[in-house]
């Protein structure tokens, strides 16, 4: 495929295998944790600590990748830690061990994310960046489509055998790590001194970053603050009359649409511009939340998940491509790390905000609030952030 280098292909396959492993466990994780004695509160604390670990580490390791001039060691170590964490969760059921294993998984994500996205940026140009990031998202999300399907198939024949599923998920994890070692760093100027990167030094980038970067990140983070977990959409789907199996099925359907549209969305973004496609995605998101707030019809709900898949394809990879087009090449991983780090924190807060609004006022009000705030973010980006250079 023109414009997609060997490095991008390998990195995308690594992400595919990793998502097969992680998404294989995603639908059964809460059920498994409950089966070994975790309360809902303890599950929430576990996920909060894990996501905080990922968020804080993304910025630090992004900065470290830029300062050292290395990418591949962070990618390889990150995927390796996530790979070994999955069978560890099935080996012992002590709460401390589970906390350690889950945190190790998220730490792996934090180590690899910024360096991986910087590689994608280095392997692309401003003319095809949307295509490259879109291709990677398509492959990544194909894994998110395959993983739950494999889990459903296994549990159909072996109901409630969750432990074995954790060991099976280790296999694609190993394939991901093995593939990552096919990647090599391009030769760069060696640093005469061993660089020292303080834990929060990546925050200093905010002061030196281009003004356009700061304006963009403010908009993206405000949106993230109201973009709660997909669990709430699945709960709304359940309320509209879908069975438990259909709820899992509609999540798989969403990932399929996401995977199919990610590359076309990236190609269109290159021909038009990244800003236009991203804002189009935000308008689709607004339609989904307005629609889901009022719908009790099963078929309408399914159509909204189709639109939701197109929204994800139009925003996830596009936002990172947009950021890397603004940031200086030497600061690419830091720019991505700073954004994704704060994004993780805002994601945690978003689910709490939606949950509180839902509990106190109802699902309609929660979804309506999200839709209105997203519309405001779209208008802010239209007026405040200029189109990225082609």
**Residue 344: how many other CB atoms lie within 10 Å:** 25
Look at residue 356 in the predicted model and tell me its pLDDT: 83
Domain-embedded: residue 189: no
Query: d(Cα 109, Cα 102) in Å, to the nearest integer?
Result: 11
Nearest CA among 321, 141, 142, 144 for reference residue 220: 321
Long-range pairs for 288-294 at CB < 8 Å and ≥24 separation? 288/233, 289/367, 289/368, 289/370, 289/371, 289/374, 290/367, 290/368, 290/371, 292/233, 292/236, 292/237, 292/367, 293/363, 293/364, 293/366, 293/367, 293/368, 293/371, 294/364
Look at residue 205 in the predicted model and tell me its pLDDT: 87
Look at residue 283 in the predicted model and tell me its pLDDT: 96
| 22-239-345 Cα angle (round to 5) | 45
Statement: residue 209 has pLDDT above 70: yes
Statement: residue 198 has pLDDT above 70: no
Tell me what the mean pLDDT of segment 63-88 comes to. 91
DSSP string for 360-379: HH-HHHHHHHHHHHHHHHHH
Tell me what the mean pLDDT of segment 271-298 comes to. 90
Query: d(Cα 205, Cα 335) in Å, to the nearest integer?
Result: 7
Work out the pLDDT band at 188, boundaries 50, 70, 90.
Answer: low
Residue 56: CB partners within 8 Å, gap ≥ 6? 110, 341
Work out the pLDDT band at 190, boundaries 50, 70, 90.
Answer: low
Range of the structural domain that residue 210 is part of: 6-183+202-384
Name, of 189-203, 225-239, 269-283, 293-307, the range with top average pLDDT: 269-283
Q: Which residue has the tokens 């990922």?
A: 54
Domain-embedded: residue 196: no
Domain-embedded: residue 86: yes
Q: How many domains does one find in the chain?
A: 1
Q: Where are the alpha helices (DSSP H) in the chain?
A: 6-25, 29-35, 40-68, 72-91, 95-122, 129-157, 162-168, 170-180, 205-208, 211-226, 230-239, 244-271, 274-294, 298-326, 332-361, 363-384
Look at residue 156 in the predicted model and tell me its pLDDT: 83
- For the chain, the residue count is 390
Residue 361: CB partners within 8 Å, gap ≥ 6? none
The residue with greater pLDDT, 77 or 349, is 77
Statement: residue 351 has pLDDT above 90: no
List the CATH number of the domain containing 268: 1.20.1250.20
Query: d(Cα 282, Cα 288) in Å, to the nearest integer?
Result: 10
Q: Which residue has the tokens 């189109």?
A: 387
Domain-embedded: residue 188: no
Look at residue 73 in the predicted model and tell me its pLDDT: 92
Look at residue 339 in the predicted model and tell me its pLDDT: 92
**Maximum Cα interatomic distance, the chain, rounded to a whole number of Å:** 65
Statement: residue 180 has pLDDT above 70: yes
Look at residue 9 in the predicted model and tell me its pLDDT: 96
The residue with greater pLDDT, 257 or 67, is 257
The residue with greater pLDDT, 239 or 117, is 117
Tell me what the mean pLDDT of segment 119-146 comes to. 92
Look at residue 41 in the predicted model and tell me its pLDDT: 65
Q: Are 202 and 337 in contact (CB under 8 A)?
A: yes
Domain-embedded: residue 30: yes
Domain-embedded: residue 67: yes
Domain-embedded: residue 74: yes
Mean pLDDT computed over every residue of the chain: 87
* Radius of gyration (C-alpha) of the chain in whole angstroms: 20
Specify the pTM.
Answer: 0.87
The residue with greater pLDDT, 217 or 94, is 217
Domain-embedded: residue 231: yes
In this structure, of 24-38, 62-76, 283-297, 342-356, the range with the lowest mean pLDDT score is 24-38
């Amino acid at each position: 495929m023109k414009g997609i280098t060997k490095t991008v292909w390998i990195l995308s396959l690594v992400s595919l295998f990793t998502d097969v492993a992680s998404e294989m466990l995603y639908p059964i994780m809460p059920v498994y944790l409950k089966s070994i004695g975790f309360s809902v509160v303890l599950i929430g604390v576990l996920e909060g600590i894990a996501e905080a670990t990922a968020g804080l580490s993304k910025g630090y390791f992004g900065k470290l990748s830029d300062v050292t001039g290395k990418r591949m060691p962070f990618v390889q170590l990150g995927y390796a830690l996530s790979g070994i964490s999955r069978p560890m969760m099935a080996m012992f059921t002590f709460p401390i061990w589970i906390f350690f294993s889950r945190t190790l998984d998220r730490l792996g994500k934090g180590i690899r994310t910024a360096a991986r996205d910087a590689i994608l940026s280095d392997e692309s140009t401003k003319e095809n960046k949307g295509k490259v990031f879109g291709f990677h998202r398509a492959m990544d999300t194909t894994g998110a489509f395959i993983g739950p399907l494999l889990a459903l198939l296994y549990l159909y024949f072996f109901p409630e055998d969750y432990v074995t599923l954790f060991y099976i998920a280790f296999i694609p994890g190993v394939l991901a790590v093995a593939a990552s070692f096919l990647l090599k760093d391009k030769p760069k100027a060696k640093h005469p001194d061993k660089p020292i990167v303080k834990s929060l030094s990546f925050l200093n980038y905010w002061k030196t970053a281009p003004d356009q970067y700061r304006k963009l990140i403010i908009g993206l983070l405000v949106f993230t603050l109201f973009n709660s977990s997909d669990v709430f959409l699945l709960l709304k789907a359940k309320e509209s009359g879908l069975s438990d199996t259909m709820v899992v099925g509609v999540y798989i359907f969403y990932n399929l649409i996401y995977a199919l549209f990610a590359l076309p969305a990236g190609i269109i973004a290159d021909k038009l511009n990244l800003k236009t496609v991203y804002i189009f995605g935000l308008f689709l998101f607004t339609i989904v939340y307005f629609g889901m707030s009022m719908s009790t019809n099963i078929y309408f709900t399914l159509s909204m998940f189709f639109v939701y898949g197109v929204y994800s394809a139009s925003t996830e990879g596009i936002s990172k491509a947009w950021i890397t087009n603004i940031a200086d090449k030497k600061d690419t991983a830091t720019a991505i790390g700073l954004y994704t780090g704060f994004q993780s924190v805002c994601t945690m807060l978003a689910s709490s905000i939606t949950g509180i609004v839902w509990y106190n006022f109802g699902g309609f009000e929660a979804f309506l609030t999200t839709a209105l705030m997203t519309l405001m973010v779209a208008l802010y980006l239209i007026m405040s952030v200029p189109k990225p250079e082609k």
